[in-house]
Amino acid sequence: MPSVIRRFSSLPSDIHKFQSRADEQWNIHSKLISIHGRLRRARPQSGGDMSASPNDSTEETTAVFPPTYIVIQFSRHIRTTALVWLVDKICGKRLDGGAELLVRKQPHHDGEGLTLHVSASKIKFLEVAEELELRKRDKCGLIREFTVSQLDDFLEEGMHVDDLLTTAEKQYIVRHELENIRALKEDDQVPGYPAFRLYEGQSIVQVCLHWKLLDRMYPLHDQEALGKLGMKWYWALFRKQPFEEIRLYFGEAVALYFTFLGFYTTSLLVPMVLGFLQLFLSSESIAFFCVFNVLWVTVFLEVWKRKCSELAFTWGTIGMTSLDEPRPNYHGVMGIDVVTGRYQPQFPRWKTNARLYCASLPIVLLCMVGAFFVMLASFWAEEMIIHMKKLHGLEAGGLLVLMPSILYSAVVFIMNCYYRKLATFLTEWENHRTQSQFDRHRVTKLVLFEFVNNFMSLFYIAFYIQDMEMLKNQLTVMLIIFQAINNFQEAILPLLIKCYSKKVTKALKFDAILGNKDNEGSSYIRKRRPTLIHEKDSVIPDHIPALEPDDPRIELAIAEGEMENYEGTYDDYLEIFIQFGYVFLFSSVYPMAALWAVVNNILEIRADAFKLCCLYQRPMAKRVKDTGAWQRAFEAVGAMSIMTNCGLLCMSPQLRRLAPSLTSVEWVLLFVVLEHMLLGIRHILHLVIPDRPEWVRVALARINHQSKQALKNERTIKNRRHLFRRYNTVHASLNHND
């Protein structure tokens, strides 16, 4: 365990004794003999270079392999030197740049690439958990950073050491270790591929995924846990979602999304009830509801921010900053990190900012303007056609009027695809240090573009054409039909595809038993993910221990490998965001919007849950502390809703009828004043509602205080010897002067 030794090198030497005692202890803790045995046999591996001692491997192959956390599929065409090098890196010692992980190959057939099951020893998990500063709840209920030496503090009565880390955390640890395999000074290229250059500190796995030397890398589902989760979640339509279980299984990012969706849906009940009331009241009451609605949005977002910080504190992610552990694709000159003193890639912040503001920002603005003109063009075309129809009396071309809308939808779809790639590329190029920063900047870029595509046409109808009936119809279509299609697309369509692909899998399995090569199933896989052109299939070295041929994980790995990849919460948030815009930007015109939104969201929660559990590959757990760019996006729409609603009120004929003596200018001024007052109140609410609840602030202050005290004490102890020595010297020299 070199990392542990390195970390504790400043401590007295008996810490090592303690360390071995503790290791022993874990054995004792594990009462089940099978686990006991597995642990004993697995441990030597964690520190040992497996490929260097192929003699052990025969023994290893017979040992029970711990649960697979990540499956890696190698390209079938990867050159053998590169393959061996990569596997060595994965299993190798930390000092040699390895990740010290445990691997098993899947029994393979010619014509198939190597599929590797990756896991880690218990000690490795605990070690990395400490390194990553994972925060866990200790016996006293205090949430603090986990340390190996305090293991016992974190084990509640009767809790097994295996249960300390959740499967999401273990999977996160394995992935972190895989992605953290970085090129050493001597690794200037991928062996066998002189064209694939490496620089020191680059994440090797990322490079191999980029060059398609690795086909894919995905975690495996835990079928038992998944079944339990499903019963509590998507099969229980009107029960509270099991947020804690979701987090333990899918990680913080997914849990936060579902918490947000739930919170948002509950909060929507208020505007929904108000929308109902409006049906029975006079149309003059519209102004009151409108004012209430926009203030409600502000309060909702502020309260969510507070809730978010509570969750982040409980999950131990509240301390995440932009100076944390860099994400795998972050590149730069390797150097000593000023904060942690670790050896990490360094990239000056001003360069990132320069790229962001001088290149990305203008490009994004240009794209937005472009999208805006495409939108205008579609409206012009529609007008032209209507005009021509009237002029020439074309009767047959009834569908022709719909053409611009259909064409516009198609163009938006294509634009979106390309823009997404552009945004990802630009954000990657900006080279943000942490995953949160990367996500934030990518989402910001995407949201700006989506805003133009989704809302600009409504703005055009509302404020340029000023046709409220058309706006109302448009909103109804969007909120009911659009969302229904979306749910169908998300949950039911993939289910159909899955049924189809199950047949495919069965065929595949059947073929695998018969030993047939080049069957339909595997060619289907290869078609979807073309590898780079390499000469011939690679030879898979024999010294890698294999799983038993009857291991159930093999079938699971194959089945889940074919599932679609869940690309993060972006699309899900986007859906809520667009709905949020529809509901609140024009709520004074269409107060029933909230009702449709609530109906949709109740379905959406379960559809998303089902989708995530059954249709997608298990997503990689991601740690987040807040909704990031989405919070700002929602806030921006909230502010905009004040403006649009005041504008709509100002134009509403019902209200104007109330005071016919007022001139147009006076009406405009009246609503400008109302709008400014609302914006002012919004700002005051923003200032007055603290971002963090009192208890979180106090808890953080306490941790901060304790750390500061500890630093003082440490310095006291460290300096004592030094001070004694120095004082004696001073003594002598002064005496001499006397």
340 is an interface residue for a copy of itself by CB under 8 A: yes
* Residue whose CB is less far from a copy of itself, 145 or 555: 145
Q: Tokens 């409206």 map to which residue?
A: 379
User: At 616, is the secondary structure helix, strand, or coil?
Assistant: strand
Considering only the stretches 432-440, 579-587, 602-610, 705-713, report the one whose residues sit in contact with a copy of itself under the rule CB under 8 A. 705-713
Of 277-316, which residues contact a copy of itself (CB under 8 A)? Answer: none
d(CA 472, CA 244): 40
User: At 564, is the secondary structure helix, strand, or coil?
Assistant: strand
Phi, psi of 296, rounded to the nearest 5 degrees: -60, -40
Burial bucket for residue 302 (CB in 10 Å: 0-12, 13-18, 19+): buried
Contact between 307 and 300 under an 8 Å Cβ cutoff? The reply is: no
339 is an interface residue for a copy of itself by CB under 8 A: yes
513 is an interface residue for a copy of itself by CB under 8 A: no
What's the min distance (Å) between Cβ of 151 and a copy of itself?
Answer: 8
Concatenated DSSP letters for 275-313? HHHHHHS-GGGHHHHHHHHHHHHHHHHHHHHHHHHHHHH
Of 664-693, which residues contact a copy of itself (CB under 8 A)? Answer: 664-665, 668-669, 672, 676, 679, 687
What's the min distance (Å) between Cβ of 118 and a copy of itself?
Answer: 29
Structure tokens at 444: 């910001």
Burial bucket for residue 253 (CB in 10 Å: 0-12, 13-18, 19+): buried
Pairing state between β 189-190 and 135-137: unpaired
Q: What binding mask, one character per residue, do residues 347-366 give for a copy of itself by CB under 8 A, x or -?
A: --x-----------------
d(CA 114, CA 90): 14
662 is an interface residue for a copy of itself by CB under 8 A: no
Half-sphere exposure of 1 (CA within 13 A, CB side): 21
Q: What binding mask, one character per residue, do residues 427-446 give for a copy of itself by CB under 8 A, x or -?
A: --------------------
702 is an interface residue for a copy of itself by CB under 8 A: yes
716 is an interface residue for a copy of itself by CB under 8 A: yes
Considering only the stretches 146-154, 233-241, 369-377, 507-515, report the one whose residues sit in contact with a copy of itself under the rule CB under 8 A. 146-154
* Residue whose CB is less far from a copy of itself, 237 or 717: 717
What's the min distance (Å) between Cβ of 348 and a copy of itself?
Answer: 9
Pairing state between β 333-336 and 343-346: antiparallel
Q: What binding mask, one character per residue, do residues 2-41 give for a copy of itself by CB under 8 A, x or -?
A: ------x-xx---x--x--xx--x--xx------------
276 is an interface residue for a copy of itself by CB under 8 A: no
What's the min distance (Å) between Cβ of 199 and a copy of itself?
Answer: 24
Bridge partner residues of 336 (DSSP): 343
Contact between 594 and 583 under an 8 Å Cβ cutoff? The reply is: yes
User: 669-708: string of b/e by CB count within 10 Å (b at 16+)?
Assistant: ebbeebbeebbeebeeeeeeeeebeeebeebeeebeeeee
565 is an interface residue for a copy of itself by CB under 8 A: no
d(CA 579, CA 454): 10
323 is an interface residue for a copy of itself by CB under 8 A: yes
* Residue whose CB is less far from a copy of itself, 79 or 625: 625
* Residue whose CB is less far from a copy of itself, 187 or 325: 325
160 is an interface residue for a copy of itself by CB under 8 A: no
Residues 6+ apart with CB under 8 A from 466: 651
Considering only the stretches 73-81, 169-177, 309-317, 699-707, report the one whose residues sit in contact with a copy of itself under the rule CB under 8 A. 699-707
Q: Amino acid letter at 582? A: Y
Considering only the stretches 215-223, 228-236, 333-341, 377-385, report the one whose residues sit in contact with a copy of itself under the rule CB under 8 A. 333-341
Of 612-651, which residues contact a copy of itself (CB under 8 A)? Answer: 632, 643
Contact between 646 and 655 under an 8 Å Cβ cutoff? The reply is: no
Q: Tokens 């003596």 map to which residue?
A: 661
What's the min distance (Å) between Cβ of 501 and a copy of itself?
Answer: 45
Interacting residues toward a copy of itself by CB under 8 A: 8, 10-11, 15, 18, 21-22, 25, 28-29, 133, 145, 147, 149-150, 152-153, 321, 323, 338-340, 349, 632, 643, 664-665, 668-669, 672, 676, 679, 687, 694, 697-698, 701-702, 704-708, 710-717, 719-720, 723-724, 726-727, 730-731, 734
